[in-house]
Amino acid sequence: MKIELVQLPGRDGDTAYNLSRTLNAIATCAGDTDLLVFPETHLSGFVGGAQLAQLAEPLHGATLQTVLQAVRQRDVAVVLGFAEVHQGRFYNSSVLVTPEGIALQYRKTHLWPSERSDFSPGDRFTTVLWRGVRVGLLICYDIELPETSRALAQLGAELVIVSNGNMDPYGPVHRTAIMARAQENQLFAVMVNRVGAGDDDLVFAGGSMAVDPFGRVLFEAGRDEVRHVVELDLDQLKAARRDYDYLKDRRLMLSGEQIEHSDGRRELLIGASQ
C-alpha cells in the first residue's frame, strides 16, 4: 500500500484556498498512489465562534462532494479533516473518502482545551476494511491518550491514520506518542501535521510520520511543506505479532458497546456526546 503524506500549510477560514490545495495534490499524485493523507481540519482551517457557524458543513456538503469527484477521477482515496455541522452541533471531523464514497467518518473524541467551547466531542471509534486493511482514524490530541488507539486496535485496526494540527512547543510529544501507539498495538500509524503560521500566533510543528508495527520510523518530515510517499509492507503486521500479541495477551478490555455493521464497519460506542 502506497500512502502519500501531504504536509501543507493552511489558511484558517479560507475553504476555497484549502480546497484548491487539496484538489491539486490529488490531481498531481503518482499514478500508483493508494491514499493521500492531509492535516487536521484541512478544508476549513481552525475556526470558532461565528466563523465556525458560517464555514462548517454537513458530511455530504458541497466541499466534500467536490473532493469525492476528484478522488473518483484519479481512483485514489484521501483522509482529510473539516469542521462538521450536524443537527445544530459542531464537530472536528475526519473522513476517509474513496471512489465509492465516504467510507469512514470520525469525530474527534478528545478535544484540546481551546476547542471545547465550540465543538462537541465524538462518542465512538470506528474502523472499516479498505483494500484488505482495516483502517481507523484519530485526530491530533487523541493520540496522547493511549486508550484511543487501543480502542481502534480492539476493533481490529491494522492502520491508524492521524490528521494532525499540532503546534509548538508540543511537536516532540506527538513524535513520541505516534511511535508508542504503533508499537503497543502492533499496527501501522501514519500522522500528517500542518506547517507554517496560523491565527493567534500559532506555529505548526510539522513532523509528519509513518511508523511500522514494531514502532520503527519509516519516514519523518521536517518543518517545511512536503509531499512524501511511503510504501507499507503489510507482511510486517504478522511479523510484529509472531512471537507475542499484545491484544491477545492483555487482561483488560476497554468498555463500550461494540457494533458490527453489514458494510464491514466496526464501532465501539463510548457514550453520548456531552
Which one from 4, 40, 144, 158 is the annotated catalytic residue? Answer: 40
Residue 134, C-beta contacts closer than 8 angstroms, at least 6 positions apart = 127, 128, 155, 156, 157, 158, 159, 266
Choose, from 57, 84, 108, 158, the residue flagged as catalytic: 108
Is-catalytic flag, 140? yes
Domains of the chain: 2-234+254-269 (3.60.110.10)
Q: Give, as one character, the DSSP assignment of residue 117.
A: T
Q: What is the distance between the alpha carbons of residues 157 and 267, in angstroms, rounded to a whole number? A: 11
- pLDDT digit string (tens) for the chain, length 274 residues: 999 999 999 999 999 999 999 999 999 999 999 999 999 999 999 999 999 999 999 999 999 999 999 999 999 999 999 999 999 999 999 999 999 999 999 999 999 999 999 999 999 999 999 999 999 999 999 999 999 999 999 999 999 999 999 999 999 999 999 999 999 999 999 999 999 998 778 899 999 999 999 999 999 999 999 999 999 999 999 999 999 999 999 988 898 999 999 999 999 998 744 3
Query: Does residue 108 carry a catalytic annotation?
Result: yes
Whole-prediction pTM: 0.95
40 is catalytic: yes
12, 199 contact by CB (below 8 A): yes
Alpha carbon of 241 to those of 16, 214, 245, 260: distances in Å?
A: 44, 9, 5, 24
Options 29, 84, 115, 140, the catalytic residue: 140
Of 79, 138, 87, the C-alpha closest to 103 is 79
